[in-house]
Amino acid sequence: MQAEKEEEEASPEEYVALCDFTASGSEQLGFSTGDKLLVHAKPSADWWWAELQGVIGYVPASYLRQDAAEDEDDTSLEDPWQDDEYFGSYGTLRLHLEMLSDRSRTETYRQVIVSNSASLRNKVVMDLGCGTGIISLFCAQLAQPSVVYAVEASSMAVHTRQLVKQNGCEEVVTVLQGRAEELELPEQADILVSEWMGNCLLFEFMVESVLLARDRWLRDGGVMWPSSAALTLVPCQADSYYSEKMAFWERPYGLDFTPLQPLAQQEFFTKPKFSHLIDPKDCLSAPCDVICLNMYTVQVRDLEEMEGEFKFCVVKPGVFHGFTAWFTVQFESLEAGGATVELDTGPNSDPTHWKQTLFMLDKPIHVYGGDSIRGNIVLRRNPVWRRHMTVTLHWNINSSSDNCQVGTKSFPMWR
Ligand code: GJV
């Protein structure tokens, strides 16, 4: 190991930039697609120390690929969708148990079907990524569609077929095992239903499969469930998380461990924290929808980069530790005058298995009632690892007191 490390330090490796990167803060190094960078050190898996035209700084490792001329690189052999791993994990019960145990999620889909049962009569339904088949079974039992095509790529499909039989739905539900992108359906669908949402709405990018299926298998005038989706953001306090991971080093056992704080920041605050449950009291302002998807019109290419703006008005004094994000999805009614059904994964609704996602700033900032926090959020899909993305937040605090501050931070999720 030691010998390898010395070798690395002695001769920097050449990498090519796969996309543009804008530096935020003086420690980072910006670059453009195609730039050749010399990587001097790899202090963490995510951030490397690199050089471009004599300038040096931190760069996101996932944006670089080893120069092909130098090396027959192994990333080109790896599947950028990581499908073996992805569908492998959906072939076991753990994730299905988590999703089915989430009552808000599962009951919302049931309610959509119940409240539209009259309109579902004799319709052709496609359930994309049916998992154990719960949505398809709801359709068959609570409405009278002519057929439900339950599409599932993982090996769970084998068990799903058994569950369909066991529950007497085999006349209506047809389980098709395979990736939706590669399957042939016998006919166009009237309704495309799917539970595709990931953390921060888009993570995993299963939505791409849904959009491709829409363009190929949904008949003109067909219905998308969900019909729309929104990502919501709020500036927040995160006192206990901050204490646990950062303030801790101030005086453990009466000793000064503050030299470890830069490491702690790198280790705990570089990536977003999934599975955060924010107390509504920790929201510093009303939340704001920053990105909205119309499931009828959004295109796969739009997913490469999604941008949204925000303006928050701080309603009480507090410590601004970061931003919390969650999503909502809406299911339009098929019945004239019928109500839209919504699944809300935010702090003012029953918690779901997605919980919320916390983005920690490097330094907490005191804010006061009447301050404004304006800025934008960019979700940039990883050009190589198609299920991953980087979330970049820019903010500008305008305070009645003297502190006006701007900041930027990029969070890989996960590459
Ligand atoms: N084709 C077929 N099944 C799929 C596909 C696809 N392209 N993508 C995902 N699945 N809400 N983030 C399946 C996957 O195997 C799993 O059973 C389910 O859809 C995921 C649903 C929850 N994930 C999510």
Question: What would the pLDDT profile of 98-123 be if each residue is shown by its tens digit?
Answer: 999 999 999 999 999 999 999 999 99
pLDDT of residue 74: 55
Cα 50 to Cα 39: distance, rounded to the nearest angstrom: 4
Q: How far lies 319's CA from each of 235, 297, 316, 397, in Å?
A: 10, 39, 10, 13
Question: What would the pLDDT profile of 168-183 be if each residue is shown by its tens digit?
Answer: 999 999 999 999 999 9
Per-residue tokens: 219: 């008949």
pLDDT band at 3 (very low <50, low <70, confident <90, very high): very low
Give the pLDDT mean for 262-266: 96
Q: Of all protein residues, whose CA lies closest to atom 14 belonging to ligand 1? A: 129
pLDDT of residue 182: 97
Cβ contact 415:382 at 8 Å:
yes
Kindly tell me if the per-residue pLDDT of 187 is higher than 50. Answer: yes
Per-residue tokens: 300: 């796969």
Per-residue tokens: 290: 């920053």
**Top mutation candidate among 84, 90, 130, 182 for ligand 1, by most atoms within 8 Å of CB:** 90
pTM for the whole structure = 0.86
pLDDT band at 7 (very low <50, low <70, confident <90, very high): very low
Looking at the DSSP bridge assignments, the partners of residue 82 are none
Helix, coil or strand: residue 30: coil
Q: Is the CB of 102 under 6 A from ligand 1?
A: no
The catalytically annotated residue of 9, 51, 204, 250 is 204
pLDDT of residue 4: 37
CA–centroid distance, residue 375 to ligand 1 (Å) = 33
Question: Which of the pair, 52 or 76, is modelled with greater confidence?
Answer: 52
Q: Which residues contact 355 (CB under 8 A, 6 or more apart)?
A: 274, 275, 276, 277, 345
CA–centroid distance, residue 21 to ligand 1 (Å) = 31
Cβ contact 312:322 at 8 Å:
no
**Top mutation candidate among 89, 92, 206 for ligand 1, by most atoms within 8 Å of CB:** 206
Cβ contact 140:117 at 8 Å:
no
Read off the amino acid at residue 251. Answer: R
Cα 90 to Cα 68: distance, rounded to the nearest angstrom: 34
CA–centroid distance, residue 194 to ligand 1 (Å) = 9
Q: Is the CB of 204 under 6 A from ligand 1?
A: yes
Per-residue tokens: 147: 């057929």
Q: Which ligand 1 atom sits nearest the alpha carbon of residue 197?
A: 11
CA–centroid distance, residue 173 to ligand 1 (Å) = 17
Kindly tell me if the per-residue pLDDT of 2 is higher than 50. Answer: no
pLDDT band at 5 (very low <50, low <70, confident <90, very high): very low
Q: Of all protein residues, whose CA lies closest to atom 19 belonging to ligand 1? A: 129
pLDDT of residue 10: 60
78 is catalytic: no
Place of tokens 């569950």: 163
CA–centroid distance, residue 133 to ligand 1 (Å) = 11
Q: Is the CB of 129 under 6 A from ligand 1?
A: yes
Across 299-355, the runs of DSSP E, i.e. the strands, are: 305-313, 318-331, 341-344
Q: What percent of the chain has pLDDT over 90?
A: 86
pLDDT band at 351 (very low <50, low <70, confident <90, very high): very high
Helix, coil or strand: residue 313: strand
Give the pLDDT mean for 197-214: 98
pLDDT of residue 404: 77
Instruction: At 324, give phi and psi (nearest 5°).
Output: -115, 135
Q: Which residues contact 339 (CB under 8 A, 6 or more apart)?
A: 115, 333
Place of tokens 């409405």: 143
Question: Which of the pair, 17 or 185, is modelled with greater confidence?
Answer: 185
Closest by alpha carbon to 325, among 161, 198, 220, 239? 198
Give the pLDDT mean for 277-297: 98
Read off the amino acid at residue 19. Answer: C
Instruction: At 52, give phi and psi (nearest 5°).
Output: -140, 120
CA–centroid distance, residue 29 to ligand 1 (Å) = 37
Q: Which ligand 1 atom sits nearest the alpha carbon of residue 154?
A: 15
Q: Which ligand 1 atom sits nearest the alpha carbon of residue 180?
A: 1
Give the pLDDT mean for 57-69: 83
Kindly tell me if the per-residue pLDDT of 281 is higher than 60. Answer: yes
Q: Which ligand 1 atom sits nearest the alpha carbon of residue 87?
A: 15
The catalytically annotated residue of 195, 250, 267, 335 is 195
Q: Is the CB of 205 under 6 A from ligand 1?
A: no
Kindly tell me if the per-residue pLDDT of 410 is higher than 50. Answer: yes
Question: Angle at which helices 93-101 and 103-115 pack, to 10 degrees?
Answer: 70
First to last CA, the chain: 25
- pLDDT-wise least confident of 16-20, 76-80, 318-322: 76-80
Cβ contact 133:116 at 8 Å:
no
Place of tokens 């980072």: 28
Q: Which ligand 1 atom sits nearest the alpha carbon of residue 99?
A: 22
Kindly tell me if the per-residue pLDDT of 68 is higher than 80. Answer: no
Q: Is the CB of 197 under 6 A from ligand 1?
A: yes
Going by their DSSP bridges, the two strands 273-276 and 124-128 should be labelled as unpaired
Q: Of all protein residues, whose CA lies closest to atom 11 belonging to ligand 1? A: 196
Q: Is the CB of 90 under 6 A from ligand 1?
A: yes
pLDDT of residue 76: 62
Question: What would the pLDDT profile of 372-402 be if each residue is shown by its tens digit?
Answer: 999 999 999 999 999 999 999 999 999 877 6
Kindly tell me if the per-residue pLDDT of 70 is higher than 60. Answer: no
Cβ neighbours, 10 Å, residue 4:
8
DSSP 138-178: HHHHHS--SEEEEEE-STHHHHHHHHHHHTT-TTTEEEEES
Kindly tell me if the per-residue pLDDT of 202 is higher than 90. Answer: yes
Q: Of all protein residues, whose CA lies closest to atom 13 belonging to ligand 1? A: 129
Q: Is the CB of 332 under 6 A from ligand 1?
A: no
pLDDT of residue 6: 37
CA–centroid distance, residue 175 to ligand 1 (Å) = 14
CA–centroid distance, residue 312 to ligand 1 (Å) = 35
Cβ contact 17:31 at 8 Å:
yes
With left for phi above 0 and alpha for psi between -120 and 50, is residue 370 left, alpha or beta?
Answer: left
Question: What would the pLDDT profile of 36-58 be if each residue is shown by its tens digit?
Answer: 999 999 998 888 999 999 999 99
Place of tokens 């298998």: 217
CA–centroid distance, residue 370 to ligand 1 (Å) = 44
- pLDDT-wise least confident of 23-32, 209-218, 328-337: 23-32
Kindly tell me if the per-residue pLDDT of 229 is higher than 90. Answer: yes
Cα 153 to Cα 58: distance, rounded to the nearest angstrom: 39
Cα 9 to Cα 134: distance, rounded to the nearest angstrom: 54
- Helix, strand, coil share of the chain (percent; to 5): 25, 35, 35
CA 79 to the chain's CA centroid: 19
204 is catalytic: yes
